[in-house]
Amino acid sequence: MVLMLILLSLSAFFSGTETALLSVNKVRILRLVEEGNKRAQAVQKMLDAPSRLIATILIGNNIVNIGASALATSIAIDIYGNAGVGIATGIMTLLVLVFGEVTPKNFANHNAEKWALAYGVVELIRILSVIFSPIIMILNVITNFFLKITGGQADKDPFITEEELKLLVNVGQEEGLIAESEREMINSIFEFDDTLVREVMVPRIDIIALDVNESAYNAVLAVVEVGHSRIPVYEDTIDNIIGVIYAKDLLKNLNNDLKNLDLRKIMRPAYYVPENKKVKNLLAELRQARVHMAIVLDEYGGTAGLITIEDVIEEIIGDIQDEYDDEEETFTVLPDGSLLANARASIYDVNEILHIDLPDDEFETLGGLVFNLLGHLPKVGEELILDNVHIKVEKILGRRIDRVRVWLDESGKGEENESSG
């Protein structure tokens, strides 16, 4: 009977240890390791070899469970004869299930850190790992073989995935540990890795540029009017940007005859990048080249837009407002629940705010979506309906849509691509 209790206790130990070590908070263990906790260091070392850990626990658990079953069967046969086999099987199944599996696993799941760091746990598993080494080696060869032929990989999972980190950040914000602005910044950093230049750039239609034949005097007036420290210079057409005028270079020439000063003499070379370049790579290039602005080219070599270091940084920390920026809000929620939005607003952001599902695979901005689906430059008041989402043009500037109003028709009677003027 004493031996039976020992075997059941060992079964509970192995089951609980497996659950505790595999569910323990790895971030917490790493923190304890950094603080110099010896037990945490031992746990971390064991977690670094999960295949060996699991094999050790499973071998030990199977040995004690088989031993307990064999002992129970032997005792039952002595008492009940051949009928004892069935009796022993039934009783041991119940005992192992309750006391060797379910109970210790549940306890360990709720006390993973305490169990994993308890004295003797890691030490015993380490000793057994050495004893079982020959068996573990054979098992690893077999399992790795099957993983290889089935296309799997052994021990290749990262410590924590990007999705898990995002989930931790979101939970932290919900629990009040992280501010909303901090959550948005962290999520922006994750998205930054995949962001393309064309998603961030100032589009061609919004570029303020100077003809190279303009005088330096007119360039000064333009700098004062728009408040930009750098203005692109083009020859003949905006598709042929040949340089950039810096405000500080104009200041250096204020004592000269600005009306007769050729822009070619004071402009600096333009820096060109393709629209499909990743923003993270562009940032490194701009820092290395020591330039703050790049001209974005489309696949045909024409001007698609321009991008500055400020645009790149804003992708992470949000809008940076200075004294020259237009303070008009990107989004304004109106009393009727509709959303007044800048046409350059991201479709993704609109979907998040209104909890709708506007298509964002081919188009990135609201203006681009409306313009392309209508097929013409709309008039103020013209409306596009996609399923039960209404998009109404509220303001036009020149040849582009400036502001639109978006709302959800709760009755759901809208028809896709329907438009009205």
Rounded Cα distance between 355 and 234, Å, is 43
Q: CA-CA distance, 264 to 240, in Å (whole number)?
A: 14
**Domains of the chain, residue spans:** 2-149, 162-192, 197-317, 331-420
The CATH-assigned architecture of domain 331-420 is 2-Layer Sandwich (3.30)
- Residue 283: which residues within 8 A CB-CB, separation 6 or more? 309, 312
Per residue in 221-258, pLDDT (tens digit) is 888 888 888 999 999 999 999 999 999 998 888 877 88
Residue 268, token pair as written in the block: 């600096």
pLDDT for position 325: 53
Residue 364, number of CB atoms within 10 A of its CB: 19
Amino acid at 351: N
Tokens (6 digits) for 264? 């070619």
Strand order in the sheet with 293-297: 202-203, 303-308, 293-297, 272-274
Count other C-beta atoms under 10 Å from residue 2's C-beta: 6
Q: For the segment 321-331, what is each residue's pLDDT rounded down to a tens digit? A: 555 555 456 78
Is residue 98 within a helix (H) or strand (E), and if so which, with residue range? none
Q: Give the other-Cβ count within 10 Å of 159's Cβ.
A: 10
What CATH number is given for 197-317 in this structure? 3.10.580.10
pLDDT at 337 over 80: yes
Distances (CA, A) of 43 to 18, 116, 132: 12, 7, 19
Look at 152 and 333; give whichever has higher pLDDT.
333
Q: What is the pTM of this model?
A: 0.55
Q: Among residues 73, 60, 76, which one has the least CA distance to residue 7?
A: 60
CA distances from 359 to 160, 170, 364, 389, 410 (A): 31, 25, 9, 11, 19
Is the pLDDT confidence value at 211 over 90?
yes
Percent of the chain scored above 70 by pLDDT?
Answer: 91
Structure confidence by residue, pLDDT tens digits, 11-30: 899 899 999 988 888 878 88
**Mean pLDDT value of segment 155-168:** 67
The closest of 34, 171, 17 to 101, measured between CA atoms, is 17
Check residue 322 and give its pLDDT: 57
**At residue 419, does pLDDT exceed 70?**
no
Phi, psi dihedral angles at 291 (to 5 degrees): -125, 155
* Band of residue 343 on the pLDDT scale cut at 50, 70, 90: confident
